[in-house]
Amino acid sequence: MVLMSGRTFCAHVIIINFLLLLSYNLIYGTETDIFCLKSIKNSLEDPYGYLKSSWDFNNITQGSICRFTGVECWHPNENRVLNLNLSNMGLKGQFPRAIQNCTSLTGLDFSINKLSGKIPADIDVLLPFVVTLDLSYNNFSGEIPKSVANCSYLNSLKLDRNALSGRIPGELSFLTRLRTFTVTNNLLRGPVPNLPQVPAESYANNSDLCGGPLPPCS
């Protein structure tokens, strides 16, 4: 313990917190996960009825939400959502804040829909354990929230083909696990964050990005 560096200690505290939260959710998480999906279903327009036909909340038993379209659970017999994939369903509406009640979620794919409005400023509070987040091919506008830099487990963040504007938060360089970061076809400008692993192609088709793998900022 004495020899542990501050950084290592910090990492241990984070891991222990993570495990404590997960075990808490193991016991109490399932009611809130059902409520989470119910609220998401109610908050989104579902013109093709993908959720309407599959997400049936009558007579829910342990594990029944795990058989819903796009839902993957930690364990097939336990109503605790691990990943949610609602890609390419023609969904409309705002980013569903109710996702906060899927408290053990690690993956969210909303790509290829018609979601609009801002990415919530408190995305870190809504998705504290998210590892992969795909919001590409939607109609999100406004800035990329700084707080996404607090989603410290992020491995992959895809925001391509939206209407995002302003600068990319420099704080994203704090995301040490980030391997994939793509923001092509938006309206972003200014310096890109210091992420040596991210190639120039990931920034293509924006208003005026510079620095990093792109031409230097003037």
Ligand X SMILES: *[C@@H]1O[C@H](CO)[C@@H](O)[C@H](O)[C@H]1NC(C)=O
- CB-based burial label for 1 (10 Å; 0-12, 13-18, 19+): exposed
For ligand X, the closer of residues 1 and 27 by Cβ is 27
Q: Phi first, then psi: what are they for 45, rounded to 5°?
A: -80, 130
User: Cα separation of 190 and 66, whole Å?
Assistant: 43
Q: Which one, 100 or 180, has the nearer CB to ligand X? A: 100
**Residue 43 contacts ligand X per CB under 6 A:** no
Question: Do β-strands 71-75 and 78-85 pair in parallel, antiparallel, or remain unpaired?
Answer: antiparallel
Q: Which residues contact 142 (CB under 8 A, 6 or more apart)?
A: 117, 118, 119, 164, 165, 166
CB of 1 to ligand X, least distance (A): 25
Q: Could you give the string, one character per residue 2-31, with x where binding to ligand X holds by CB under 6 A and - elsewhere?
A: ------------------------------
Residue type, 29: G
Q: Which is nearer to ligand X, 82 or 204 (CB)?
A: 204
152 binds ligand X (CB under 6 A): no
**Cα 116 to chain center, whole Å?**
15
- Cα-based torsion angle of the residue sequence 67, 71, 74, 77 in order, rounded to the nearest 10 degrees: -20
Tell me the residue nearest to ligand X as measured from the CB.
147
By rule CB under 6 A, what string of x and - marks binding of each residue 102-121 to ligand X?
Answer: -----x-x----x-x-----
Token pair 């005026």 in the structure block, residue:
208
Tell me the window of 10-18, 92-100, 191-199, 208-216 that interacts with ligand X (CB under 6 A).
92-100
Q: Is 59 in the site for ligand X (CB under 6 A)?
A: yes
Residue 155 found at the interface with ligand X (CB under 6 A): no
Binding residues for ligand X restricted to 164-203, rule: CB under 6 A: 171, 184-185
* Interface positions with ligand X (CB under 6 A): 32, 35, 39, 59, 61, 85, 87, 97-98, 100-101, 107, 109, 114, 116, 124, 132, 134, 139, 141, 146-147, 149-150, 163, 171, 184-185, 204-205
